[in-house]
Amino acid sequence: MSLGPMATMLLLLIGLLVVVGVGVKLYDGKRKREIEGVHLQAQVSDALLRDPDLYGLAVTPTAHVPWSGTPARLDVVGRVPEPQLRERVLQLVDREARQVRPDVVIVDRLQIDASSSARVA
């Protein structure tokens, strides 16, 4: 009686289970990174909306969490009417982002545009 075909079948089944397990683990990691990025982005966006002096500015934070998980990057893009508001936005973004992730890197892509002073008050 030969165990060759039976052993081959068993090895293929074990290999398939390993491949499925790795795929599930990768998918779970991707999902966790996306959730963490959304949480970071939402925290900062909410803080910008809560500040009455910054409400209505065209500023958008976008979070990127890498596979390794550290450090996260937060791109801050938009237009502000004056340098003082730019600094205030960056300080608020830094403070709020560090409450979620202490290792976050803030990437400043803000532009100063005097024509953006027509804000919603």
Q: What b/e string do you get for 105-117 counting C-beta neighbours within 10 Å, with b at 16 or more?
A: ebeeebeeeeebe
Burial of 104 (0-12, 13-18, 19+ CB in 10 A): buried
Q: Mind listing the pLDDT tens digit for each residue in 52-111?
A: 988 888 899 999 998 876 799 999 999 999 999 999 999 999 999 999 999 999 999 999
Q: Mind listing the pLDDT tens digit for each residue in 28-50?
A: 989 998 999 999 999 999 999 99
User: Which residue ranges make up each domain of the chain?
Assistant: 36-117
Q: For the domain 36-117, what is the CATH superfamily, name and number?
A: Cation efflux protein, cytoplasmic domain (3.30.70.1350)
This model's pTM is above 0.85:
no
Q: With CA atoms as reference, report the closest residue to 61 among 103, 110, 112, 116.
A: 110
CB 79 within 8 A of CB 58: yes
The predicted structure's pLDDT at residue 113: 83
